[in-house]
Amino acid sequence: MIRFDAVTMSYPRTNRPALGAVDVEIGKGEFVFLVGPSGSGKSTFLRLVLKEERATAGAVYVAGRDVSRLPAWKVPALRRQIGVVFQDFRLLPGKTVSQNVAFALEVIGKPRSVVRAVVPEVLELVGLQGKGDRMPDELSGGEQQRVAIARAFVNRPTILLADEPTGNLDPSTSVGIMRLLDRINRTGTTVVMATHDNDIVDQMRKRVVELDEGQVVRDQSRGVYGY
Ligand SMILES: Nc1ncnc2c1ncn2[C@@H]1O[C@H](COP(=O)(O)OP(=O)(O)OP(=O)(O)O)[C@@H](O)[C@H]1O
């Protein structure tokens, strides 16, 4: 589903690549934690999958396509296959919960009848039934992250990328978010999550890919956060 083939990525005006000759293969339906110190390249990895950055050398394959060869007009179609969740939720503050989720469908031109049917379904899936009319600032952090996950998943992407999704949440709220990501993964969605949350990684026992200074230094199935 995602394959990095000797991927090097250097940002302009830096003397060390953010990723150096990285080889990683992530199969359909896998759940992978990306761990490593700050600056080790986790977010860069995720940005390359989304074609928000371009590899300096090597190739990034997503769903069988070499994204560096993807013409600009096909990038929106690539991104429609990928849901993204961030540490800071990134909800639209002036829209209700339902409107935030609906927006993700409206921008890709789904008919209103579909939006009306699908939004309550996904809100129920994330445990927010009955809260569709709330504004984001009327929700807890964990609930806001559930809205963000609903928005990322409503279009049933094949891949879900999560960049520190529990970074702003307390431990028990984080466990709830991880249960939800696990459930989404069980529907067949490939999940790649960058995290510093050692407790979560140790509890989940999923595949762990560890980066350090842009290199893969560990790739372990049913791994833990660190040795
Ligand atoms: N836009 C940029 N311009 C120049 N250098 C960058 C840019 N973004 C990231 N870098 C550098 O690339 C390297 C990898 O950064 P990246 O954000 O991928 O790390 P990370 O593992 O996600 O870190 P964190 O855990 O702090 O989010 C770092 O050395 C960083 O300083």
What pLDDT digit, counting tens, does each position of 205-218 carry? Answer: 999 999 999 999 99
Q: Is residue 41 in contact with ligand 1, taking CB distance under 6 Å?
A: yes
Model pLDDT for residues 49-67, shown as the tens digit of each residue: 999 999 999 999 999 999 9
Tell me if 40 CB under 6 Å of ligand 1: yes
The reported pLDDT for the residue numbered 227 is: 65
The verdict on the CB of residue 38 being under 6 Å from ligand 1 is yes
Residue nearest to ligand 1 atom 6, measured at CA: 11
| The pLDDT of residue 109 is above 90 | yes
Q: Is the CB of residue 15 below 6 angstroms from any atom belonging to ligand 1?
A: no
Could you tell me how far CA 218 lies from the centroid of its own chain?
21
> Residue 1 — pLDDT band, cuts 50, 70, 90?
very high
Q: Please give the average per-residue pLDDT across 221-226, as a whole number.
A: 92
For residue 18, report the distance from its CA to the centre of ligand 1, in Å. Answer: 6
% residues pLDDT > 90 (the chain) = 99
pLDDT in tens, 171-180: 999 999 999 9
Dist. CA 105 → ligand 1 center (Å) = 31
Global ipTM: 0.97
What's the mean pLDDT when you consider all of the chain? 96
Q: Is 42 in the pocket of ligand 1 (CB under 6 A)?
A: yes
CB 51 near ligand 1, within 6 Å: no
**Confidence (pTM):** 0.96
